[in-house]
């Protein structure tokens, strides 16, 4: 099969188009086409009965041969669709060869003395099968797959065209041949039947390519139509002895040949769109009406049975096409409904939300509000794990069914994914408090037990609500606000939370788009906070802190930055940037003689990053820094992760000689028993844990007991938040080995660090002082 244009290499297509668009080829094409049109025009004017013989002999033959060569030039010079155009060009050349033979043999012979059939007829008739094959191959090359509706359109239009053609010509042509020999009858029948099939194939091919506004196809189809008209006129002229050389049928043949030759030589770079929608159906409808008209005429006028058969076949194909269209429309409606429906909950899906939210925002009446409520089925993950995913699906389906029953018809409810459902409803009048109360009532109606296991499952639901236009006027921003409110509801374990733009934890969420750009714009800076030995008050290390200098909001502190980075997937990238910067600085200090260690925060996700220990080892080796000079400070939430996984992950760092510190210890309710299984070298007490001991003997006892436990496990204890002399003394008395805070030193920028280092004595000088 001929390869489609889309499947060919772009370079090959460019070469083909360059050939067709070359100045020489374009000049030759224009010249030959002009000569063909000129000859056709001469056949329309009688010239006073004195038509020059040269026009119908030498001039005609030159134009005829040139046109055949133009038709053959396409398959000889261009690879694309070569086989298809070889058949079309061969058909044109075959007809031209037959006419050359006829001109050479029968120009001066009486028409009644010309044998029928003759060798000229063989070449003339040869046009038809060659053109049929060429048209079909071109259509197949243009479309890889033909839907049933497309080829049915081809059947409808082609049968209608055949019925109309045969209604006007077939009876007269067949009746005129009844007295002639059988060979002559068969030969003369070959022309109208060949023209009929040529017309059918041309129209069917146009239907197969969806009536594209493509000059190639329309030139080929019009060329076929010109041949049909010329052959019909010629046969009628022979039957009543009115045909003469140089009359308009000869000009029409030349036009047909020229159009078919031009079809293969058109230079076209721009892709052609298909006719779609009602316009694509309009043509088959019009052809069906024409076929109906032929049948109506057939009730009053005798028509050939073949005409009746084709007209009836057209209407039958049109009926099948109509039934197919109806079924396709019903299937499309069902598919669209399924594409917009979540299979598990029975609610809409994200496509529905993306479509409804902008329109509801745009049409919001004055004074009304549009609450965006995101409801979450809490602990669904645990339910899936314990009861199986089928139970989880039953829970979501039950919630979806209850929600459809509880909401008004105009409300929109969709499942966002996982355990979250979004609800949109317009409220004409109401406050944030009243909407919160309504949401609480809705949650209680949804939270009834669901029979999804051995016993009914009691549901716990949380909801976050954002209001438009109060909180946001854009779709994406409104969803983000509702998601932040839901996050706050889960964190505070409250049932419903209304979005609060003034909440500090939310400020950072607005910065997420800026954070993605900040990486490329190099807006991150590393600061270093001293960590001192409380017994000597000398610095022993510097903790590297990654800060973000936002162009509008100023400095974003490390904890907020770390939380934001986790939301947009930048944790891995920023952690490595921090560690690389910290180790480079540490290497620089040590080259200057300052034996200071460096510390850096990593989160729980970093701990479970299997590649991080190896990346850290590569950095340490490359910068020639002792592994023990680096301390990785791990957030306390690692104690909530599976103990075996945590121990394995931390053991990787210990294997490479890196020190580990448990940061923010005591912020929540620490487990001393789990601390015993943690392979850490250092314990950093959170400021909230150590601050009360300065004024509370009981808190001092708790801190002291923690320090003693850590010592017994070989763990060094560092107190954070040492912001006063009293706190430094209390931390020292409690047994803490080190301290961080305002008293030991505020975080220092890279620019301020050299001056701070110069105030210290290098390690070599300190050794000389001891001596």
Q: Is 279 exposed, middle or buried (0-12, 13-18, 19+ CB in 10 A)?
A: exposed
Cα angle 758, 763, 764 (rounded to 5 degrees) comes to: 110
Residue 521 sits at φ, ψ, to 5 deg, of -90, 5
Q: What is the mean pLDDT of the chain?
A: 80
> Given this model, what pLDDT does residue 48 score?
60
> What mean pLDDT comes out for the span 219-235?
80
pLDDT-based confidence at residue 765 (cuts at 50, 70, 90):
very low
Residue 528 has pLDDT above 90, yes or no: yes
> Given this model, what pLDDT does residue 529 score?
92
Percentage of residues in the chain having pLDDT higher than 70: 80
pLDDT-based confidence at residue 767 (cuts at 50, 70, 90):
very low
> What mean pLDDT comes out for the span 508-535?
83
pLDDT-based confidence at residue 34 (cuts at 50, 70, 90):
very high
> What mean pLDDT comes out for the span 418-447?
87
Q: What is the pLDDT of residues 233-278, one digit of tens each?
A: 777 776 667 777 778 888 888 998 899 888 887 765 555 455 455 5
pLDDT-based confidence at residue 521 (cuts at 50, 70, 90):
confident
CB contact set of 589 (below 8 Å; sequence gap of 6+): 596, 757
Range among 329-338, 412-421, 661-670 rated most confident: 412-421
Contact between 262 and 29 (Cβ < 8 Å): yes
> Given this model, what pLDDT does residue 526 score?
92
Residue 582 has pLDDT above 90, yes or no: yes
> Given this model, what pLDDT does residue 74 score?
84
> Given this model, what pLDDT does residue 144 score?
57
> What mean pLDDT comes out for the span 469-481?
82
Tokens 């990787």 belong to residue: 652
Percentage of residues in the chain having pLDDT higher than 90: 13
* β-bridge pairing 659-665 and 461-468: unpaired
Given phi > 0 = left and psi -120 to 50 = alpha, else beta, which region is 554? left
pLDDT-based confidence at residue 8 (cuts at 50, 70, 90):
very low
> Given this model, what pLDDT does residue 531 score?
92
Half-sphere exposure of 549 (CA within 13 A, CB side): 8
From 178-182, 474-478, 503-507, 519-523, the region with the lowest mean pLDDT: 503-507
CB contact set of 492 (below 8 Å; sequence gap of 6+): none
| Residue 656: how many other CB atoms lie within 10 Å | 15
SS3 550: strand
pLDDT-based confidence at residue 695 (cuts at 50, 70, 90):
confident
């Amino acid at each position: 099969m001929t390869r489609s244009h889309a499947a060919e290499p772009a370079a090959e297509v460019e070469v083909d188009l360059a050939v067709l668009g070359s100045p020489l080829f374009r000049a030759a094409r224009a010249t030959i086409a002009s000569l063909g049109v000129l000859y056709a025009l001469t056949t329309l004017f009688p010239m006073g009965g004195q038509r020059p013989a040269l026009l119908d002999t030498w001039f005609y033959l030159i134009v005829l041969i040139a046109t055949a060569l133009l038709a053959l030039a396409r398959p000889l010079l261009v690879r694309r669709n070569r086989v298809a155009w070889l058949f079309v060009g061969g058909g044109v050349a075959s007809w031209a060869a037959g006419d050359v033979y006829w001109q050479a043999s029968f120009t001066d012979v009486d028409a009644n003395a010309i044998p029928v059939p003759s060798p000229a007829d063989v070449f003339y008739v040869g046009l038809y099968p060659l053109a049929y094959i060429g048209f079909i191959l071109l259509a197949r090359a243009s479309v890889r797959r033909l839907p049933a509706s497309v080829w049915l359109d081809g059947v409808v239009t082609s049968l209608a065209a055949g019925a109309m053609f045969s209604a006007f010509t077939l009876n007269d042509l067949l009746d005129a041949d009844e007295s002639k020999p059988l060979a002559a009858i068969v030969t003369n029948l070959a022309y109208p039947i060949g023209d009929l099939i040529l017309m059918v194939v041309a129209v069917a091919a146009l239907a197969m390519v969806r009536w594209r506004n493509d000059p190639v196809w329309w030139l080929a189809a019009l060329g076929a139509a010109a041949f049909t008209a010329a052959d019909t006129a010629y046969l009628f002229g022979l039957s009543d002895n009115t045909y003469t050389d140089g009359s308009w049928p000869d000009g029409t043949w030349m036009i047909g040949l020229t159009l078919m030759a031009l079809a293969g030589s058109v230079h076209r770079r721009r892709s052609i769109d298909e006719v779609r929608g009602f316009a694509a159906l309009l043509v088959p409808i019009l052809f069906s009406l024409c076929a109906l008209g032929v049948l109506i005429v057939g009730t009053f006028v005798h028509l050939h049975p073949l005409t009746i058969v084709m007209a009836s076949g057209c209407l039958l194909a049109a009926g099948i096409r109509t039934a197919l269209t109806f079924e396709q429309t019903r299937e499309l409606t069902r598919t669209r409904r399924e594409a917009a429906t979540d299979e598990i909950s029975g609610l809409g899906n994200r496509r529905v939300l993306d479509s409804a939210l902008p329109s509801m925002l745009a049409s919001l009446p004055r004074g009304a509000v549009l609450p965006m409520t995101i409801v979450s089925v809490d602990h669904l993950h645990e339910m899936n794990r314990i009861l199986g995913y089928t139970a989880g699906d039953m829970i979501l389906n039950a919630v979806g069914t209850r929600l459809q029953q509880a909401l008004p018809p105009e409300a929109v409810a969709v499942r966002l994914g996982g355990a979250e459902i979004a609800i949109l409803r317009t409220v004409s009048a109401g406050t944030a408090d009243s909407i919160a109360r309504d949401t609480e009532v809705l949650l209680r109606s949804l939270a009834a037990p669901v029979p999804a296991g051995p016993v009914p499952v009691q549901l716990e639901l949380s909801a976050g609500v954002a209001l438009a236009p109060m909180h946001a006027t854009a779709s994406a921003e409104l969803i983000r606000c509702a998601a932040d409110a839901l996050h706050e509801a889960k964190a505070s374990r409250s049932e419903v939370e209304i979005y609060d733009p003034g909440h500090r934890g939310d400020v950072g969420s607005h910065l997420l788009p800026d954070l993605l750009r900040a990486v490329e714009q190099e807006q991150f800076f590393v600061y270093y906070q001293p960590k001192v030995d409380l017994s000597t008050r000398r610095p022993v290390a510097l903790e590297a802190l990654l800060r973000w200098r936002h162009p509008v909001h100023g400095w974003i502190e490390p904890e907020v930055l770390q939380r934001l980075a986790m939301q947009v997937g930048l944790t891995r990238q920023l952690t490595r940037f921090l560690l690389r910067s910290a180790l480079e600085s540490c290497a620089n200090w040590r080259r200057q003689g300052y034996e200071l260690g460096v510390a850096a925060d990593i989160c729980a996700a970093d701990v479970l990053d299997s590649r991080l220990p190896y990346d850290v080892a590569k950095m340490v080796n490359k910068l020639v820094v002792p592994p023990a000079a680096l301390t990785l400070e791990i957030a306390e939430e690692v104690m909530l992760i599976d103990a075996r996984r945590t121990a394995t992950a931390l053991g990787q760092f210990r294997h490479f000689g890196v020190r580990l510190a448990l940061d923010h210890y005591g912020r929540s309710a620490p487990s001393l028993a789990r601390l015993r299984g943690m392979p850490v070298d250092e314990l950093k007490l959170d400021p909230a844990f150590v601050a009360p001991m300065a004024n509370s003997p009981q808190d001092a006892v708790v801190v002291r007991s923690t320090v003693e436990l850590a010592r017994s496990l070989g763990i060094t204890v560092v107190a954070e938040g040492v912001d006063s002399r009293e706190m430094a003394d209390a931390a020292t008395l409690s047994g803490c080995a080190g301290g961080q805070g305002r008293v030991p030193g505020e975080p220092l920028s890279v620019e301020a660090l050299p001056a701070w280092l110069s105030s210290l004595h290098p390690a070599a000088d300190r050794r000389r002082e001891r001596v």
